[in-house]
Amino acid sequence: MSTTGESVLSNGVAAMDLHADSTPSITPDSEIQQAPPAAPTPASPTAEEVVEGLSTEEPKVVPMSTQSLATTLAPADQLWSTSRDKAVKLRMEGSGPGSETPVTIHQLFLETVEKSGDQTALIFKQNGQTASLTWREYYEQCRAAAKSFLKLGLERFHGVGILGFNSPEWFISDIGCIFAGGLAAGIYTTNSAEACQYVAANCEANILVVENQKQLDKILEVKNQLPHLKAIVQYKGELQQKTPFLYSWEEFMNLGKDVPDERLNAMIDGQRANECCTLIYTSGTTGNPKGVMLSQDNITWTARTSSGLISKNYGQEILISYLPLSHVAAQMIDIWISMSFAGTTHFAEPDALKGSLVNTLREARPTCFLGVPRVWEKMQER
């Protein structure tokens, strides 16, 4: 049996937790070929060259101060919850995948860093040049982002909405939010200002991370309707205005430099695998967007179990991130399953589905690739 619990909040958010033989559904109302030898990866620039604002000091993995791999679960007596701050009970099995010890996002990430810290995690274009981050650099930047979220006043179980195309900043914002105790919530880039407002209000977002001026304009249009909003971060392009609540990516990543490691470690140590950490929203084409609450166990168990079902070479698989990260499938493959086997993720260009994806495919030569039917149809047509 899988650990399953599902509910819908009065504000339209659904909760589900499972620990064995099924994967999260995003409907709340409701091969991998043997990998070739790893190709040489581009030389990694310093962390400061890749994401401005971080120190160039040698990154150091900061271990958890009190947690062991066997995470202590938060007390819970129900398999489902209608509250984002309430833990859910996991239905554990005596053997098989459902018997595996639940782990948190941080534990999964730290395990990969300890095994493969110097291997390339992310490859992307920056100012027309190829840049990359190792798993250790990636982890440190997620910690830096988490400290900045804390500095901005991110409250426990409040949202961080992320509105933009796939990028290292998207990944870092998502994981940094979780490290800081918030709920990561992807917002569709095609959403209207009104739809963005609905999602941000629904998750009581304290911070919104947007890609560029186009997406920022949507948020500014509805900012007065977001009482919980404390700050907006723009991660691409120059800021066209200066306001006390608006930060560039460089400014944001520098904000938390004076936040002690102890404060962040305490937040991470206090998290439990059966607590909510992510919200996946529907597109809202037939009504208001509906959200699914995913626990840390939902994500880590699905990532590790799915990874165990495929033929792979640890630390040698190559993926491409191009499908909307607001969808659970893309998020699971690109961020979490890749993390479980220390894969290398290449980021496609924003116009990937308009034709540039083929260029990324030729350059990256992925060993793992997720495609929706229309993508396969287009490949066949070519």
Give the Cα separation of 207 and 151 in Å (integer): 11
Higher pLDDT, 211 or 21: 211
Residue-number span of the structural domain to which 369 is assigned: 119-381
Least confident segment among 170-174, 256-260, 287-291, 327-331:
287-291
- Residue 92 corresponds to which tokens in the numbers above? 């554990």
Q: How many domains does the chain have?
A: 1
Question: Taking Cα atoms as reference points, which of 234, 350, 368, 221 lies closest to residue 307?
Answer: 368
CA 150 to chain centre: 17
Query: At residue 133, what are phi and psi to the nearest 5 degrees?
Result: -130, 135
Give the Cα separation of 235 and 249 in Å (integer): 5
Residue 201 resides in a domain: yes
One-character DSSP codes across 86-98: S-------SSSGG
Residue 88 resides in a domain: no
The answer, yes or no, to whether residue 60 has pLDDT greater than 70, is no
What confidence tier does 258 reach under pLDDT thresholds 50, 70, 90? very high
Whether the CB-CB separation of 300 and 102 falls below 8 Å is answered with yes
For residue 352, give every residue at least 6 positions away whose Cβ sits within 8 Å of its Cβ, in sequence order, or none.
322, 360
Average pLDDT over residues 72-81: 92
The CA dihedral of 265, 247, 334, 259, to the nearest 10 degrees, is -10
Percent of the chain having pLDDT more than 90? 68
Q: Is residue 183 classed as helix, strand or coil in its secondary structure?
A: strand
Give the Cα separation of 88 and 85 in Å (integer): 10
Give the Cα separation of 246 and 200 in Å (integer): 16
Average pLDDT over residues 353-370: 91
Residue 19 pLDDT: 57
Average pLDDT over residues 53-57: 39
Count CA atoms closer than 13 A to 123's CA, side-chain side: 22
Query: At residue 204, what are phi and psi to the nearest 5 degrees?
Result: 50, 50
Q: 213-222 vs 193-202: helix axis angle to the nearest 10?
A: 70
Residue-wise pLDDT tens digits, 108-138: 999 999 999 999 999 999 988 999 999 999 9
The answer, yes or no, to whether residue 62 has pLDDT greater than 70, is no
pTM: 0.83
Residue-wise pLDDT tens digits, 13-33: 444 444 544 333 333 333 333
Percent of the chain having pLDDT more than 70? 81
Higher pLDDT, 52 or 114: 114
The answer, yes or no, to whether residue 367 has pLDDT greater than 70, is yes
The CA dihedral of 326, 331, 332, 335, to the nearest 10 degrees, is -160
Element containing residue 132 per DSSP (H, E):
strand 129-134
What confidence tier does 253 reach under pLDDT thresholds 50, 70, 90? very high
Residue 133 resides in a domain: yes
Residue found under tokens 């062991």: 68
One-character DSSP codes across 13-59: EEEE---SS----S------PPPPSPPPPPPPPPHHHHSTTS--SPP
The answer, yes or no, to whether residue 375 has pLDDT greater than 90, is no
The CATH number of the domain holding residue 344 is 3.40.50.980
Handedness of CA 149, 239, 219, 330 (dihedral sign): negative
C-beta atoms surrounding 160 within 10 Å: 29
Residue 314 resides in a domain: yes
Residue-wise pLDDT tens digits, 311-353: 788 999 999 999 999 999 999 999 999 999 999 999 999 998 8
